[in-house]
């Protein structure tokens, strides 16, 4: 079955459209009006081998918060929908990715439990036109709407490298977690259900 999904979100603050294919080639077209955020989402799709199309029109004249949050929520919602009943997958994934002096580490569980622990070593208030504090907030929003548990850390001296290493590590962990497990026919849980109570 194709593992594809679309999310559309429209509020007084933003209009978001997301299409996601978990079994793609890493092709991404991302336009949010926030250059560095586009770069991070493109990197996520490329290294997870997801095909991702994102178009967001947001109130960037206010700031970047609503645009980043609503885009992340929609990408997460699309991921959760594309996973369907979450049967026949590996469910867990982890990765460590270096980028020069920076290193990102990600561990994920895509079994339906929304939770995130994020620690990014960011020193400056912004990277390009992306507010630094909105990077962990975007990741938290993504994890919540996708129904995944995410532990993500990244350290380094260059904020661009730190953020990008984090997203690349997350991408590689997600790629492993959502991949089909040829030995698994049902839900990878002793409870047999993809829910917040699954274990």
Computed over every residue of the chain, the mean pLDDT equals: 94
Residues 105-114 as b or e (16 or more Cβ within 10 Å = b): bbbbbbbbbb
Q: How far apart are the first and last CA of the chain?
A: 25
User: 32-74 pLDDT, tens per residue?
Assistant: 999 999 999 999 999 999 999 999 999 999 999 999 999 999 9
Residue-wise pLDDT for 114-170, tens only, equals 999 999 999 999 999 999 999 999 999 999 999 999 999 999 999 999 999 999 999
What's the predicted TM-score (pTM) here?
0.93
């Amino acid at each position: 079955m194709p593992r594809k999904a679309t999310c559309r979100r429209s509020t007084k603050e933003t209009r978001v459209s997301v299409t996601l294919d978990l079994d793609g080639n890493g092709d991404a077209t991302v336009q949010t009006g926030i250059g560095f955020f586009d770069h991070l989402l493109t990197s996520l799709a490329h290294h997870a081998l997801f095909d991702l199309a994102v178009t967001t029109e947001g109130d960037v004249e206010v700031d970047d918060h609503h645009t980043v949050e609503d885009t992340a929520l929609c990408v997460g919602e699309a991921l959760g929908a594309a996973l369907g009943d979450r049967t026949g997958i590996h469910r867990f994934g982890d990765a460590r990715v270096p980028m020069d002096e920076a290193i990102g580490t990600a561990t994920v569980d895509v079994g339906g439990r929304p939770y995130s622990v994020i620690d990014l070593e960011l020193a400056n208030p912004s990277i390009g036109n992306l507010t630094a504090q909105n990077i962990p907030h975007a990741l938290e929003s993504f994890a919540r709407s996708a129904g995944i548990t995410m532990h993500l850390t990244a350290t380094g001296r260059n904020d661009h490298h730190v953020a990008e290493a984090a997203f690349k590590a997350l991408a590689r962990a997600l790629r492993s977690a959502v991949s089909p497990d040829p030995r698994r026919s049902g839900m990878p849980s002793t409870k047999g259900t993809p829910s917040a109570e699954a274990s």
